[in-house]
Amino acid sequence: MQRVFGIILIVLGVWAGVEVYTKGSAAAFGGLFASGSEQPSEVRRAPQRAADTVRRAYEKSTERIDRQLDE
């Protein structure tokens, strides 16, 4: 009985971890544990955040090159 209970806890833990990893902490479990500052509709997924970061880095580098060329 203890083994069954332990396996069930492990499975639930893995499921909860996957849910938070794939949907983010605000949207996981249907937003049940979301804080008031971030609504589930405003949550961006990891690829979107990565694309935004790359875009900002690219814009900064082009601005830096433009400033150097202007000098």
pLDDT in tens, 34-45: 665 555 455 567
Q: For 11-27, how does the pLDDT look when each residue is reduced to its tens digit (9 = 90+)?
A: 999 988 888 877 776 66
* pTM over the 0.75 mark: no
**Of 28, 51, 48, 50, whose CA–CA distance to 40 is shortest?**
28
Q: What are phi and psi of 40, to 5 degrees?
A: -60, -30
